[in-house]
Every structure is written in C-alpha cells, then in structure tokens.
C-alpha cells in the first residue's frame, strides 16, 4: 500500500506552520497504523526532504500518546509480521485532534 498519496501531500501544512494552533485544535490530515498492533500515527504537518524522504509532525499513539516527528522511511521500513507493514487508513477523514488528545 502506498502510504503517502499526492492528495495527502497537497493537504499537508508545512512543518512548523501550525505551531500557534493549540494541540487539540490541530487538523489531522492522515492516519497510519500497525494492522497487527495498537500503534497509530496521526499526521498534522509534513515536508519533503532533499533526499526525497518525508518528515511528519503529528500525534503518535503507541505505548504512550505524544506529539513528535517521524519519517515516511521509518514507517515504510516497519515489518509488523505476517508479511505486513504499516498501513494507511484509506477511509480516514480530516478531523480535529481533540478527538484523539482527550
């Protein structure tokens, strides 16, 4: 599965562009998840790097919930088992982060 589509690329605000917006008011643009586990990555911002990789900022919901940075290459390199990798929620609508930060 392609994690980062052209539609998502066009929808992503640049890194640091939502700094003045409170965390619970930020807009989640995309959701990635471990299909065999409980980890979720909610993307708020992103920028393509010179090497073609993407750096994202968003809410990471794993062993704890925290805001942070992660890369497309990191997500693509994960083997969760059974020949599966990290997937994108193709039905995820853009939504306010307040649903995930409470």
**Closest among 24, 93, 22 to 65, alpha carbons compared:** 24
Answer yes or no: are the C-beta atoms of 30 and 49 closer than 8 Å: no
CA max distance for the chain: 42
On whether residue 79 sits in a domain, the answer given is: yes
On whether residue 57 sits in a domain, the answer given is: yes
On whether residue 98 sits in a domain, the answer given is: no
Q: What are phi and psi of 100, to 5 degrees?
A: -110, -15
On whether residue 67 sits in a domain, the answer given is: yes
Pairing relationship of beta strands 87-88 and 30-33 according to DSSP bridges: antiparallel
pLDDT in tens for each of the 102 residues of the chain? 899 999 999 999 999 999 999 999 999 999 999 999 999 999 999 999 999 999 999 999 999 999 999 999 999 999 999 999 999 999 999 999 998 765
Whole-structure pTM value: 0.94
- How far the first Cα of the chain sits from its last, in Å, is 30
Can you give the residue range of the structural domain that contains 76?
6-93
């Amino acid at each position: 599965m392609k994690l980062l589509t052209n539609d998502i690329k066009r929808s992503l605000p640049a890194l640091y562009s939502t700094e003045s917006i409170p965390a619970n008011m930020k807009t989640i643009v995309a959701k990635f998840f471990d299909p065999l586990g409980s980890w979720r990555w909610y993307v708020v911002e992103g920028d393509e790097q010179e090497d073609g990789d993407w750096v994202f900022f968003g809410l990471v919901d794993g062993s704890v919930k925290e805001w942070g940075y992660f890369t497309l290459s990191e997500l693509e390199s994960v083997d969760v088992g059974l020949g599966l990798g990290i997937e994108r929620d193709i039905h995820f609508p853009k939504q306010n982060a307040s649903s995930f930060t409470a």
